[in-house]
A = this chain, B = another copy of it.
Amino acid sequence: MKSDIILLGHGSGGKLSHQLLDDVIIPRLSGVAQKDQNDAAVLTSPGGRLAFTTDSYVVDPIFFAGGNIGDLAVNGTVNDLAMAGARPLYLSVGLILEEGLPISELEQVLDSMKAAAAAADVRIVTGDTKVVPRGKGDRIFINTAGIGTFEHDREILGSGARPGDRILVSGTLGDHGMAVLAGREGLELQSPIESDSAPLNFMVADLLSELGDALHVLRDPTRGGVATTLKEIALQSDVDLTLEETQLPVSDAVRGACAILGLDPLFVANEGKLLAFVAPQQSEAALQIMRRHPAGRQAAIIGEVTGQSAGKVFLRTAIGGLRSIEMLAGEQLPRIC
């Protein structure tokens, strides 16, 4: 009586739930047999300080060029821990499945989670699965929470930007958001756009160890894009920022697709990029560290902290004008992650 789609009974906690765990989930996500499972994982605590974060993923569609909701959910939480300056160690996974989801699609998503966890060197240690009736969910939602440890005693906070800091981005803008949008809308693009979904923890580890106190802020520009994230940092740090439009790395494919759709890549989500604020003397070194990593090949210095003030972000345009940048208003791109 095996089913090839998700049934409501798979969420009952009874026999079908146990079958789903034994046949589909545990072989992919966990090395721990159900017989040895308990309500919570017991882990060795690294001591000192812990980082703890959570994110739910509701991206539509669940499969897109360059990834799917599974690797996105692992990389996103790995990156949130890394942006706090932590080394990611452990992840939890909470699945909310819609009745009727093909089990083959679930398997594909779980396989991607396993591969992403291995690539980022984190362990998935605990999980939960719920099922909702058709029309009360959308195929699959995934929550990942994560625990990280600190291998230094610095604080990497959004409030750490200082006048003179150079602003670096680790690569091109808007790839993830445009890949998802293209998939959702069935856009036929001349040059396909792939999501940039990737773990950034190894790049962060190098930045932390090699830049020392010159590294002031780390943040991944996901929902709301680089513009919204920089506006948040400017407000948290009470500084003004100025970006150089000509220095913003944007692929031709993303630039073209954005132009057609009336979107600005500065506001489009990224899932494998980071922003770093670095003391000016170390900014070239930071650029070289980023470029050593596959996800940082197109890293660039895109602006600087121009003053101590009320959290304004300016863009110096290609023709030399100065435009004020605000946070994303409304729902430019819903369900992008």
Contacts and interface: CB of A to CB of B under 8 A. Distances in A.
Interface centre among A46, A86, A329 (most CB of B within 10 A): A329
Interface centre among A13, A52, A158, A330 (most CB of B within 10 A): A13
Interface string A204-226: 00000000000000011011100
Interface residues of A, number: 92
B330 A16 contact: yes
A264 interface: no
Interface string A75-94: 00001110110100010111
Given A40-B84, A42-B51, A52-B92, 14 more contacts: A12-B328, A12-B332, A14-B223, A15-B327, A16-B329, A35-B159, A40-B83, A40-B146, A52-B126, A52-B147, A58-B96, A58-B132, A58-B137, A132-B335
Interface centre among A39, A50, A130, A155 (most CB of B within 10 A): A39
Interface of A is mostly: mixed
Interface of A: 7-9, 11-18, 35-58, 60, 79-81, 83-84, 86, 90, 92-96, 125-128, 130-133, 135-138, 141, 143, 145-150, 155, 157-159, 219-220, 222-224, 228, 235-236, 267, 269, 326-335
A329 B8 CA distance: 11
